[in-house]
Amino acid sequence: MSYYVTTPIYYVNGEPHLGHAYTTIAADVLARHMRQRGEDVFFLTGTDEHGEPVAQAAEALGITPRELGDRNAVRFKELAAALNATNDFFIRTTDPEHLEKVAEVVQRIHDNGHVFEGTYEGWFCPRCADFKTDSEIEEGNTCAIHRIPLEWRKEDNWFFRLSAFQEPLERLYAERPDFVVPQERFNEALSFIQSGLQDLSLSRSRLKWGVPVPWDQSQVVYVWIDALLNYYTALSYAREGEDLTDRFWPADLHLIGKDILKFHAVIWPAMLMAAEIEVPRQVGVHGFLLLGEHKMSKSLGNVIEPFEVVELYGADALRYYALREVRFGQDGEVSPEGFEKRYTTELANEYGNLASRTLAMVGRYRDGVVPDATPDPELVGDFEGLAETVSGLLDRVEPSLALDEIWQRVKRLNRYVQDEQPWQLAKDEGQAERLDEVLYSLAEGLRVVSVLLLAFMPASAERLLAALGNEDPDLGRARLGAAPGGATTSEPGQLFPRVEPTEVTAA
């Protein structure tokens, strides 16, 4: 089966930060996990380069929007690579193929009778590039998201008859109770639809930076229409000489932050219906990482800057922390102290030590060969159905809960070492069989959690599996006892080495 997952395309008006890394990490975990399940995966990310926010940022810097796009698209590509993301393509909305396809789809929406000419008047946020409805306006006419003053704008535009799609959208929501997850975001989108939809201006006349409206070159396509279409256009040209649309469309999952829910859960499916294109299967919504003010950390300063964290601690540590610290779907605070604490107590101590102890004992007591035995009944129950549970949670876009399930087993294995004290068993020849069983169970437990962790922490889990002498990533074998003994182990080296605090110079 095919599986197509996307991240939002990131605005190039600023530098990448942890908030951007977050969606990419989550999408990559899902993409890797689905590949492990043998699915035919396509994972898309990229940059959103048109529109007012980008044009304004470029102007402020005294460069052209294209120059700004070129400069920052590289940074976002570097971010994906630094995070060890396995995206199959990186789309830029300035790609000529994208422009062409946007024009084609917009023309279809027009030809299908869903476009009219009108005048728009209203309060507009230049940072959102969006007109605001009454409920979205804060006191003193400010934007609820950006807290900047709104501008009163009046424009002759082309309009998309969004209001005509209220009923079809309500039907979609009635038929697909998991069209948007989590549930509270589904409810939020549905009540937005039910409160009545206003038509949406599909073009802008004051702006030159964008895709020209095919039937009226004096206007450009509204940046959100242009941007949303990336999910569809990319498939037509991501592989030279090949159109992947039939293979991967409709998308299985659009991962987004909660601030762009309306665009993805209301406007996007309506646009697709208007163009007679199938709507995506699901929109998965995450909350905000609150990157607030914190005490200064010795090594990370006072912000979690993704490039810096990866440089110091590796991508796996950041991937782990982002999904572990804040339950996916909810808002939560992140901090350098929190990061360092989890790195030390969970990654280095719980997982890293478990690995090095287990491998050292197999080395010392069994000459580096995993003994052949059956798994200890003591542990079997605790591992029963684990792979299915993790897969099920990831299907429900719950990566934090999935990671927690795995981590409970890491902790269980640590308790097992404490309880069984293999070093005591090793002193007594009469306990040789019992020691075989304990060491086999530990090696198997470690193998199972590592196979499941491959999607979350690919580099470390791979290294550990290699050290265990069994690199098979097959999820069907992520069961205690699925691999026989006999594998030759090796030293994995320090998986999560201590990071020396760097000197922080006061500014």
Which residues are designated catalytic? 17, 20, 125, 128, 143, 146, 295, 298
Which residues lie across from 138 on neighbouring strands? 142
Tell me which H or E stretch contains 230: helix 230-237
The only residue of 22, 124, 159, 249 in contact with ligand MSP, by rule CB under 6 A: 22
Q: Can residue 92 be called a binding residue for ligand MSP (CB under 6 A)?
A: no
The only residue of 65, 210, 257, 352 in contact with ligand MSP, by rule CB under 6 A: 257
Q: Can residue 102 be called a binding residue for ligand MSP (CB under 6 A)?
A: no
Prior bond of 53 cis (ω within 30°):
no
Tokens of residue 391, six digits: 């897969």
Tokens of residue 255, six digits: 């991962």
The only residue of 256, 300, 394, 397 in contact with ligand MSP, by rule CB under 6 A: 256
The only residue of 41, 197, 207, 260 in contact with ligand MSP, by rule CB under 6 A: 260
For ligand MSP, which is the closer residue by CB, 9 or 455? 9
For ligand MSP, which is the closer residue by CB, 169 or 334? 334
Residues 283-312 that bind ligand MSP (CB under 6 A): 288-289, 291
Residues 222-241 that bind ligand MSP (CB under 6 A): 227-228, 230
**Minimum distance from residue 154 beta carbon to ligand MSP (Å):** 25
The only residue of 9, 197, 303, 348 in contact with ligand MSP, by rule CB under 6 A: 9
Span interacting with ligand MSP, options 19-27, 132-140, 177-185, 483-491, rule CB under 6 A: 19-27
**Minimum distance from residue 187 beta carbon to ligand MSP (Å):** 19
Binding-residue total with ligand MSP (CB under 6 A): 19
For residue 88, give the nearest of 1, 12, 6 by alpha carbon.
6
Q: Can residue 19 be called a binding residue for ligand MSP (CB under 6 A)?
A: yes
Q: Can residue 11 be called a binding residue for ligand MSP (CB under 6 A)?
A: yes
- HSE-CB at 253 with a 13 A cutoff on CA atoms is 30
Beta-carbon contacts of 463 under 8 Å, excluding residues fewer than 6 positions away, are 492, 493, 495
The only residue of 3, 4, 10, 42 in contact with ligand MSP, by rule CB under 6 A: 10
For ligand MSP, which is the closer residue by CB, 10 or 365? 10
Span interacting with ligand MSP, options 191-199, 254-262, 470-478, 480-488, rule CB under 6 A: 254-262
Strand runs labelled E in 270-406: 283-286, 289-290, 332-333
Span interacting with ligand MSP, options 18-26, 103-111, 349-357, 484-492, rule CB under 6 A: 18-26
Q: Can residue 379 be called a binding residue for ligand MSP (CB under 6 A)?
A: no
The only residue of 25, 29, 46, 48 in contact with ligand MSP, by rule CB under 6 A: 48
For ligand MSP, which is the closer residue by CB, 233 or 358? 233
Span interacting with ligand MSP, options 2-10, 146-154, 311-319, 433-441, rule CB under 6 A: 2-10
Q: Can residue 8 be called a binding residue for ligand MSP (CB under 6 A)?
A: yes
Intra-chain end-to-end CA distance of the chain, in Å: 54
Residue 47: φ, ψ to 5°: -130, 145
Tokens of residue 405, six digits: 């399930």
Tokens of residue 270, six digits: 């309506």
Residue 433 exposed, middle or buried by CB count within 10 Å (0-12, 13-18, 19+): exposed
Single-letter residue type at 61:
L
Residue 316 exposed, middle or buried by CB count within 10 Å (0-12, 13-18, 19+): buried
For ligand MSP, which is the closer residue by CB, 9 or 390? 9
For ligand MSP, which is the closer residue by CB, 8 or 445? 8
- Answer whether 413's CB lies under 8 Å from 449's CB: yes
For residue 233, give the nearest of 69, 95, 65, 112 by alpha carbon.
95
What are the CB-based long-range contacts (under 8 Å, 24+) for 307-310? Answer: 307/16, 307/78, 307/79, 307/82, 309/339, 310/82, 310/83
Between CA 50 and CA 204 the distance in angstroms is 12
For ligand MSP, which is the closer residue by CB, 22 or 131? 22
Q: Can residue 259 be called a binding residue for ligand MSP (CB under 6 A)?
A: yes
Residue 378 exposed, middle or buried by CB count within 10 Å (0-12, 13-18, 19+): middle
Q: Can residue 329 be called a binding residue for ligand MSP (CB under 6 A)?
A: no
Single-letter residue type at 133:
T
Site residues, ligand MSP (CB under 6 A): 8-11, 19-20, 22-23, 48, 227-228, 230, 256-257, 259-260, 288-289, 291
